[in-house]
């Protein structure tokens, strides 16, 4: 009799597989208000580790954390014309507070440009106050009609950075620094994610920005997911909020600004980029638990041994968990740890004890082999680093093998429809071609240069459009 799979196989129904994994690995549940989510401890543990690592990288740029209010007077949104147009359809509006109808309704922040700029205008007086580099970790609300856990939710958690600079060049360089040295480095080095760095077209740009830099990842089904963005805001908000400074030369000048964000969507991306039919595969550098040591049976010698190994691995700097719940069948526990994507299992039973060995099960390459118990503490750090590298390599190879160079809109649509990405010269595609793609639910994810770098301008010679269906 064939084993009933815990998850719907990816090849059968990828969206269903995703739903299964989010639910069965206990990452999140749907909230009661449409599109909201409950992030369960296992999912939140991943978010905490992401936060910790990114927060350190953000602080290294000289940025400081602060906190701005959730509620924003509705009138603030109207100060920057493109911005309000972009966000109006997604707003949640508080009309009553403290038992009374409010004189002016307040919106729940969909993003904080409006309110932060109100304060930047007060805090920035002279060139000495620049650059002003602020980040906040917060929740935001954008009403979502087709919600999916982590990917599109009415409420999500994120960090949003907001900076003001004296010159265009400084702002441009700072947006690029966040894009590459905070977001891309973190995603590649810690999340083992393959990301394409590029520039959004005018159509796909953030509402109110003069340039949006993006990171795009290919999911297991060949669709694209936007993983983070860093915007040059130019002087659009500065003009709207009169954010100006007295220069060294004694002149009033408008500041140049950036904003940049990354969200709990990264958890969804982690699932869809690395997961397989057996569940999650968590990159070792991110994993809250890197190694789980399992007692196969509940006899005393085995239990003593798993705790001894747990202690030794912890002392070797590994994040380890000892599973001694031997009242639950071993097979069920092994499947559950596999589903949760813990990178390595060390399994110990009475026979292993006799041989001085343990069974080493590696989630990322798959497979099991016996190893000497005394070798574990020196072996495992290498194993974890190998598996970290393998995850990134697999993701990169998938993206490369499923990306096709094309020269017509029809070919691009065809490539996207068959579960892949297409690359097409931007000079060939153009805005007309971009509109034609949209009719087939295909979009330009980003523009890159011929050799895959981030272009300086939308219309630079040789720009290539990376097009795909997207989440």
460 is a site residue for its own copies (CB under 8 A): no
Select the residue interacting with its own copies from 19, 23, 24, 73 (CB under 8 A): 73
Nearer to its own copies, 335 or 460 (CB): 335
Interatomic CA distance for residues 137 and 157, integer angstroms = 7
Distance of CA 209 to the CA centre of its chain: 21
b/e map of 363-372 (b: 16 or more CB within 10 Å)?
bbeeeeeebe
Report in angstroms how near the CB of residue 100 gets to its own copies at its nearest.
9
69 is a site residue for its own copies (CB under 8 A): yes
Interatomic CA distance for residues 206 and 77, integer angstroms = 15
The footprint of its own copies on this chain (CB under 8 A) covers a number of residues equal to: 53
Select the residue interacting with its own copies from 96, 146, 251, 332 (CB under 8 A): 96
31 is a site residue for its own copies (CB under 8 A): yes
Report in angstroms how near the CB of residue 109 gets to its own copies at its nearest.
10
Report in angstroms how near the CB of residue 36 gets to its own copies at its nearest.
4
Q: What residues from 152 to 191 belong to the interface with its own copies (CB under 8 A)? A: 154-155, 157
Angle at 164 (CA atoms; ends 161, 167), nearest 5 degrees? 135
Nearer to its own copies, 269 or 359 (CB): 269
Interatomic CA distance for residues 168 and 178, integer angstroms = 16
Only one of the segments 40-48, 159-167, 311-319, 329-337 lies at the binding site for its own copies (rule: CB under 8 A); that segment is: 40-48
Give residues with Cβ within 8 angstroms of 270, minimum separation 6. 46, 191, 193, 280, 282, 283, 286
Select the residue interacting with its own copies from 6, 23, 24, 40 (CB under 8 A): 40
Nearer to its own copies, 43 or 275 (CB): 43
Interatomic CA distance for residues 222 and 468, integer angstroms = 8
Nearer to its own copies, 142 or 305 (CB): 142
- Letters for 107-146 (x = contact with its own copies by CB under 8 A, - = none) are -x------x--xx--x-----------x---xx-x-xxx-
Angle, helix 300-315 to helix 376-401, in steps of 10 degrees: 70
27 is a site residue for its own copies (CB under 8 A): no
- The total number of residues shown for the chain amounts to 471
357 close to 314: Cβ distance less than 8 angstroms: no
32 is a site residue for its own copies (CB under 8 A): yes
Report in angstroms how near the CB of residue 42 gets to its own copies at its nearest.
9
Distance of CA 362 to the CA centre of its chain: 25
Select the residue interacting with its own copies from 68, 127, 158, 330 (CB under 8 A): 68
Nearer to its own copies, 29 or 308 (CB): 29
Nearer to its own copies, 38 or 202 (CB): 38
Q: What residues from 371 to 410 belong to the interface with its own copies (CB under 8 A)? A: none
62 is a site residue for its own copies (CB under 8 A): no
Report the candidate in 71, 92, 89, 88 with the shortest Cα–Cα distance to residue 80: 88
HSE-up of 100 (CA within 13 Å, CB side)?
A: 4
67 is a site residue for its own copies (CB under 8 A): yes
76 is a site residue for its own copies (CB under 8 A): yes
Q: Using omega within 30 degrees of 0 as the cis cutoff, is the peptide bond preceding 131 cis?
A: yes
76 close to 118: Cβ distance less than 8 angstroms: yes
147 close to 153: Cβ distance less than 8 angstroms: yes
Only one of the segments 13-21, 37-45, 373-381, 453-461 lies at the binding site for its own copies (rule: CB under 8 A); that segment is: 37-45
Nearer to its own copies, 147 or 343 (CB): 147
Specify which residues 29 forms β-bridges with.
38
Select the residue interacting with its own copies from 13, 15, 38, 81 (CB under 8 A): 38
Nearer to its own copies, 129 or 299 (CB): 129
88 is a site residue for its own copies (CB under 8 A): yes
Q: Residue 308 burial (CB < 10 Å; 0-12/13-18/19+)?
A: middle
Give residues with Cβ within 8 angstroms of 274, minimum separation 6. 192, 280, 281, 282, 283, 341, 391, 395
HSE-up of 81 (CA within 13 Å, CB side)?
A: 1
48 is a site residue for its own copies (CB under 8 A): yes
Q: What residues from 299 to 358 belong to the interface with its own copies (CB under 8 A)? A: none
Interatomic CA distance for residues 290 and 240, integer angstroms = 49
Q: Which residues bind its own copies (CB under 8 A)?
A: 29, 31-33, 36-41, 44-45, 47-48, 64-73, 76, 88-99, 106, 108, 115, 118-119, 122, 134, 138-139, 141, 143-145, 154-155, 157
């Amino acid at each position: 009799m064939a084993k009933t799979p815990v998850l719907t196989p990816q090849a059968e129904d990828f969206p269903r597989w995703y739903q299964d994994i989010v639910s069965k690995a206990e990452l999140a549940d749907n909230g009661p208000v449409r599109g909201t989510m409950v992030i369960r401890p296992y999912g939140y543990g991943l978010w905490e580790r992401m936060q910790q690592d990114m927060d350190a990288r953000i602080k290294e740029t000289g940025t400081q954390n602060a906190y701005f209010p959730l509620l924003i007077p509705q009138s603030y949104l109207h100060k920057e014309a493109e911005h309000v147009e972009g966000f109006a359809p997604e707003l949640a509006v508080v009309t009553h507070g403290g038992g009374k109808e409010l004189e002016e309704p307040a919106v729940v922040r969909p993003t904080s440009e409006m309110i932060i700029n109100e304060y930047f205008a007060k805090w920035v007086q002279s060139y000495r106050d620049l650059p002003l580099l602020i980040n906040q970790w917060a929740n935001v609300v954008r009403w979502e009609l087709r919600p999916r856990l982590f990917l599109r939710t009415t409420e999500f958690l994120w960090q949003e950075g907001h900076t003001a600079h004296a010159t265009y060049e400084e702002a441009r360089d700072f947006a690029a620094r966040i894009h590459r040295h905070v977001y891309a480095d973190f995603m590649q080095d810690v999340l083992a994610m393959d990301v394409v760095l590029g520039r959004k077209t005018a159509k796909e740009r953030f509402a109110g920005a003069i340039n949006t830099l993006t990171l795009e990842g290919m999911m297991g089904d060949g669709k694209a997911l936007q993983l983070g963005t860093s915007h040059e805001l130019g002087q659009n908000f500065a003009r709207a909020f009169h954010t100006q400074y007295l220069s060294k030369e004694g002149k009033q000048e408008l500041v140049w600004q950036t904003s940049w964000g990354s969200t709990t969507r990264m958890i969804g991306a982690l699932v869809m980029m690395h997961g397989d039919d057996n569940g999650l595969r968590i990159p070792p550098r991110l994993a809250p638990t890197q190694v789980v040591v399992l007692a196969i049976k509940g006899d005393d010698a085995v239990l003593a041994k798993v705790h001894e190994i747990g202690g030794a691995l912890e002392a070797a700097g590994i994040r380890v968990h000892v599973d001694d719940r031997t009242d639950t069948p071993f097979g069920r526990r092994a499947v559950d740890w596999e589903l949760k994507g813990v990178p390595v299992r060390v399994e110990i039973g009475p026979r292993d004890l006799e041989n001085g060995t343990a069974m080493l099960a590696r989630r990322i390459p798959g497979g099991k082999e016996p190893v000497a118990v005394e070798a574990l503490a020196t072996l495992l750090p290498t194993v974890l680093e190998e598996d970290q590298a393998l995850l990134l390599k697999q993701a990169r190879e998938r993206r490369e093998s499923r990306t096709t160079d094309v020269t017509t809109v029809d070919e691009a649509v065809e490539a996207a429809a068959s579960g892949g990405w297409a690359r097409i010269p931007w000079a060939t595609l153009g805005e007309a071609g971009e509109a034609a793609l949209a009719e087939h639910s295909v979009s330009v994810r980003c523009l890159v240069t011929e050799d895959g770098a981030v272009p300086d301008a939308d219309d630079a010679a040789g720009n290539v459009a990376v097009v795909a269906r997207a989440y």
